[in-house]
Amino acid sequence: MSTDPLIGRLTAELQPVRRQSPRRAALILAVLCVTEIIVLLSLGWMRPDMPRAMGMPSFWWKTASLTVIMMIGATTTLRSLNPIRSPRPGLRALGYVVLAALAAGWMIDAAQVGPIVLWRRLDPVHGLRCARKIIELSLPVALALGVLVRRGASVDPRGTAWAAGSAAAAWGALAFVMACPFDDPLYVAVWYSLGCGVVSLVTRLALPLLTRW
């Protein structure tokens, strides 16, 4: 079967295109994140004891961990929109960072003194609310990444979806850090992981279906 008719049709349809740019995509994401933060601050989302919280190691632990996860996830996603780039190295790095973050959280937790009942520390009622808010806050970035991935040409849609989900989830959690009054590493490790895990998993399942090419 000759491909000449197809080539003729595609040539006739040819229009100039704007070349894909990871920097432009990163800028779009950055603007979206800043906008979301401004909206949240204007709604009075900041925790009232922020100055005190900023003196605690656990606050910086969760902020730094989520920032690194978000940056690696977003970079991996945007790089993998080029078909010659694989998201796998970035995903491996993400796995190591998550493990390192949990280990760091454990060390900070071990330094705390005083016996506290595990169930009380976990506080499931607030924990589930936190997880739900993380999911809600991650939606704008998840949608933006979905649009970018759909326009790109990832040759590993599942890997790219994991990276995008991780980035969106980490962003949702990072935005929530401003409002969350809980600093117990155990609480953060359990409920933040739950919220981030749901976002990552749903993105991993849905994005490859929506971005087939």
Partner 1 sequence: MAAAQNGDADAYRHVLGEASAWLRRYFQRRLPPSMVDDAVQDTLLAVHEKRHTFDPAQGFAPWIAAIARYKWIDRLRAMRRVDMTSLDDELPVMDHENAVTAAHALERLLTLLKPAQAEVIRLVKLQGFSIEEAARRTGQSAALVKVNIHRGLGRLSDVVMRGADVD
Contact residues for partner 1, defined by CB under 8 A: 1, 3, 6-8, 10-20, 81-84, 151-153, 155-156, 213
Of 87 and 195, which CB lies nearer to partner 1 in the complex structure? 87
| Residue (of 93, 91, 105) closest to 190 by Cα position | 105
Smallest gap from residue 83 Cβ to partner 1 (A): 4
Look at the alpha carbons of 150, 153, 156, 162 in this order and tell me if their dihedral is positive or negative. negative
The CA-based diameter of the chain, rounded to the nearest angstrom, is 77
Taking phi over 0 as left and psi of -120 to 50 as alpha, with beta for the rest, 82 belongs to: beta
- Cβ proximity to partner 1: between 11 and 42 the closer is 11
Closer of 10 and 38 to partner 1 (Cβ): 10
Q: How far apart are CA 187 and CA 181, in angstroms?
A: 11
Nearby residues of 73 by Cβ (< 8 Å), 6 or more positions away? 90, 94, 163, 164, 165, 166, 167, 168, 170
The CB-of-127 to partner 1 minimum distance in angstroms stands at 36
Nearest distance, CB of residue 9 and partner 1, angstroms? 9
Rounded Cα distance between 197 and 102, Å, is 14
Distance of closest approach, residue 78 Cβ to partner 1, in angstroms: 12
**12 versus 43: smaller Cβ distance to partner 1:** 12
The least distance separating partner 1 from the CB of residue 153, rounded to whole angstroms, comes to 4
Q: Quick one: 14 or 43, whose CB is closer to partner 1?
A: 14
User: Which residue from 184, 209, 213, 204 is spatially nearest to 62, judged by alpha carbons?
Assistant: 184
